[in-house]
Structure 1
Amino acid sequence: MPPSTALPIIDLSPFLSPSSTPEQKRAAAAALNDACTTHGFFYLTAHGVPAELESRVLALARKFFLDTPAATKAAIQRLDPGAAGGDGARGYQRLGENVTQGASDHHEAIDFYRPVEAEEAVGGKGYGLLRGPNLWPDQPEGFRAAFEEYWKRLTQLGDAVMKAMAWALGYEGDEDVILRWTDQPFWVARVIGYPPLKGEGVSCGVHTDYGCTTFLLADDTPGSLQVLSKDGEWLDADMIKGCYVVNIGDMVSVMTNGLWQSTKHRVIHTGDRYRVSVPFFYEPNWDAVIKPLEKCVQKTGGAEKYGEVVYSAHLMGKVSGNFYSAATDGK
């Protein structure tokens, strides 16, 4: 039996199996609707991603942070736009370089985004913000192959969750209503290492996520990730074996006209060992124009509470403030 948790545990496997019945899908969608309405966070079980692959990416992440020479990390260091090959976001961030709400976070990380073809690059200034290639470490061996396979699996899982969300929002007859915004998702992925905090500070400050759905895989360090409940209480969201911690992002708030709200969360890691976290952010297409879905507008009083949002503009606005040295030139 899984441990007791304040967050619901959801099985969306009917949306992963071609043999599922409409009744099974409706039951799963109803549970998803309740979780997104009440918490904006849930545990996802029976997701179909191989446990061996999950274990491998966590082990490779830990090896990168704890065993890789500093020179290897520096070789893929994040560079501002204008520097040769820099795009302002992709690559390795040193301890304390990432910023949330204006304060330094106590973690190191590698950030990745959906690859951008070379011909999309901005000539003369390297790559514009978010428009460059991913930067891969040459150690540990097998890092790139494992993570690319992992993200492929999670993109497919994200597609299935978008269909489940459509059913949950009343679009049983048009289950691709959200997928039309996400059929080429500009996904984001982080590989994060958290040394234990010593004294004041936060490991990752209070924030909501930017896009559609976050799938979090982390080691079993307890008491680090915290979710803000609707009554203002911070709830621990420790990992449960075989589950992802999943949360909805800002674009889902727009799509649902506020029916589902992205939830604030933070990381405060005061344990006695190094914590490894591997979140994958399933996002809209780069050029998607997100607006409230009609059925959601009807369910929330008949008036649109959000205007249209171009996802690339939303993402660039967020990322441009994520680093102390980040440039704002997004061309």
Structure 2
Amino acid sequence: MSTTQTETETYVHYHDGGVPGRRRVLTGKAAKPTFSAVPKIDFRRIYSDKLEDRQELAKEVGAACRDVGFFYAVNHGVDEAVLEDTFEAVKKYFDLPTEVKMETHNQKTEKFRGYEAFLEGKLDPSTRGDLKEGFLMGEDFTDPEQLALLSPASLPTSLTSAPRNQWPSHPSALFFRPAIYRYYTSMFHFSKRLLHIFALGLGLPETHFDAITTHPMTNVRAVHYPPQHSDADVGIGAHTDFCWFTLVCQSRTAYPALEVLNGNGIWIPVQPQPASFVVNVADFLKLVTGGTWQSTVHRVRNMGGEERYSMPFFFSPNEDARVGVVEHLRKGDKKYEDIGVGEYFQKRLDIDRTTHLDGDGKEGERKRPRY
């Protein structure tokens, strides 16, 4: 179950780094200092030509990453028309007939790219499945839209041989790919700037991570959450993200659906805010900071009676990179090991994309449907 109770204690259950975990719910005198809201940070300074302005922004970002692991990026500067147009395209896509969407069913690819139907994902084993449908695309260096964003010299030939993404080919769905790539391009450029702010927030040169982000792993997941009518359901179970960081655009709903878990095991709502992204630290930033920054557990419960749409953009290091704790955050004689980005990513993907379609095979085996 997502919450369990003993005679004297209550625990919240989640996946952290792909590993099941739990956190005791602390109230009253047992409660400890922790956050009760997600901070808002004005990001107009990210475009300043003055290093001191960007350093000031980075100081605020670093504090939010250390204390919360989430923040609102207000006044981010990304064209609002692009965001609105993408939401309209996402809604239109999910309104398409099921057979059109199932052309690109994600079980047809090793990277789980394409369409995911309702209840197929299941991050919380106590539920009947994640009450959502989604479409996932990601780094694919056979897509010309992505090649235009990268230096040809940065592309390892071993990663460019076969397509990874699936795109719908039905005439009614041809609008979707260009819309997603307009969004992808805007978020890619913003993420490059944001990575510099994270570096400054760690007391590093702002280009410190550039060498391992020349051909980054990237994903856009368009998600549709219908209204939930039962407390036993969840839009997506409690988890952490496996990338550098995540940028989330939420559709405007009166009742918040995204929730983050604070240190006392209390779920804090993250209300949609105009002209803002929700940004969260993910596993790789937690890793390189030696746990100084929080990859905070979060979930979605869409209990407000409205249709909800979300467009998270995930930004990661190069697939063939290795990452480890930065030198000045290493403690004493403790031994640290670098982690291969691609290997870690695939491990988490296999865990987080387990579906009911896997059947009753032995643990670790995947049973794919036949087409």
TM range, smaller chain: 0.7 to 0.9
The separation in 1 between residues aligned to 2:284 and 2:124, in whole angstroms, is 19
Deviations 1:66-93 (Å, cap 9, x if unpaired)? x21122111111224xxxxx32501101
Q: 2:114 aligns with which of 60, 83, 91?
A: 91
For residues 41 and 120 of structure 1, do their structure 2 counterparts lie closer, same or farther at Cα, with a shift above 3 Å needed? same
Q: Paired residues, what number?
A: 306
Query: Which SS does the other structure have where 1:244 is aligned?
Result: strand
Give the corresponding residue for 2:308.
275
2:134 partner letter: A
**Greater mean deviation of Cα atoms: 71-80 or 286-295:** 71-80
Q: 1:59 aligns with which of 81, 88, 91?
A: 88
Deviations 1:20-68 (Å, cap 9, x if unpaired)? x232122111101111011000000222210001001111111211x21
Give the corresponding residue for 1:9.
40
For residues 8 and 135 of structure 1, do their structure 2 counterparts lie closer, same or farther at Cα, with a shift above 3 Å needed? same
Give the corresponding residue for 2:206.
175
Q: Within the alignment, does 1:28 sit opposite 2:53 as a pair?
A: no
Deviations 1:243-279 (Å, cap 9, x if unpaired)? 0000010000111111102000000111212111111
- Give the TM-score, by structure 2 length: 0.77
Q: Within the alignment, does 1:216 sit opposite 2:216 as a pair?
A: no
Q: Within the alignment, does 1:46 sit opposite 2:79 as a pair?
A: no
Contact 1:60 1:140 (C-alpha < 8 Å) held by counterparts: no
Give the corresponding residue for 1:147.
180
2:58 partner letter: A
Give the corresponding residue for 2:15.
none
Q: Within the alignment, does 1:320 sit opposite 2:350 as a pair?
A: yes
The separation in 2 between residues aligned to 1:53 and 1:141, in whole angstroms, is 18
2:218 partner letter: W
1:42 partner letter: F
Shift in Å, 1:99: 2.1
The separation in 2 between residues aligned to 1:283 and 1:249, in whole angstroms, is 9
Query: Which SS does the other structure have where 1:26 is aligned?
Result: helix
Query: Which SS does the other structure have where 2:180 is aligned?
Result: helix
Query: Which SS does the other structure have where 1:147 is aligned?
Result: helix
Give the corresponding residue for 1:135.
167
The separation in 2 between residues aligned to 1:145 and 1:133, in whole angstroms, is 14
1:319 partner letter: L
1:276 partner letter: Y
| Structure 1 unaligned residues grouped into runs of 5+ | 81-85
2:257 partner letter: S
Query: Which SS does the other structure have where 1:276 is aligned?
Result: strand
Deviations 1:113-138 (Å, cap 9, x if unpaired)? 11144985899xxx7xxx72333364
Contact 2:141 2:160 (C-alpha < 8 Å) held by counterparts: no
Paired-residue identity, %: 26
For residues 303 and 111 of structure 1, do their structure 2 counterparts lie closer, same or farther at Cα, with a shift above 3 Å needed? farther
Q: Within the alignment, does 1:100 sit opposite 2:129 as a pair?
A: no
Deviations 1:283-309 (Å, cap 9, x if unpaired)? 111111010011222xxx335575211
Give the corresponding residue for 1:109.
134
Contact 2:101 2:168 (C-alpha < 8 Å) held by counterparts: no
Q: 1:231 aligns with which of 246, 260, 264?
A: 264
Give the corresponding residue for 1:165.
198
1:50 partner letter: D
For residues 201 and 137 of structure 1, do their structure 2 counterparts lie closer, same or farther at Cα, with a shift above 3 Å needed? farther
Give the corresponding residue for 1:83.
none
Shift in Å, 1:223: 2.0
1:267 partner letter: V
The separation in 2 between residues aligned to 1:98 and 1:71, in whole angstroms, is 19
1:157 partner letter: F
For residues 197 and 275 of structure 1, do their structure 2 counterparts lie closer, same or farther at Cα, with a shift above 3 Å needed? same
Q: Within the alignment, does 1:255 sit opposite 2:288 as a pair?
A: yes
1:246 partner letter: V
Query: Which SS does the other structure have where 1:193 is aligned?
Result: strand
Query: Which SS does the other structure have where 1:266 is aligned?
Result: strand
Shift in Å, 1:148: 0.5
| Structure 2 unaligned residues grouped into runs of 5+ | 1-35, 144-156, 359-363, 367-371
The separation in 2 between residues aligned to 1:186 and 1:328, in whole angstroms, is 25
The separation in 1 between residues aligned to 2:124 and 2:214, in whole angstroms, is 31
Contact 2:39 2:72 (C-alpha < 8 Å) held by counterparts: yes
- Give the TM-score, by structure 1 length: 0.86
For residues 219 and 295 of structure 1, do their structure 2 counterparts lie closer, same or farther at Cα, with a shift above 3 Å needed? same
Shift in Å, 1:153: 1.3
Contact 2:40 2:72 (C-alpha < 8 Å) held by counterparts: yes
Shift in Å, 1:141: 5.0
Q: Within the alignment, does 1:205 sit opposite 2:237 as a pair?
A: yes
2:78 partner letter: V
Give the corresponding residue for 1:79.
107
Contact 1:170 1:295 (C-alpha < 8 Å) held by counterparts: no
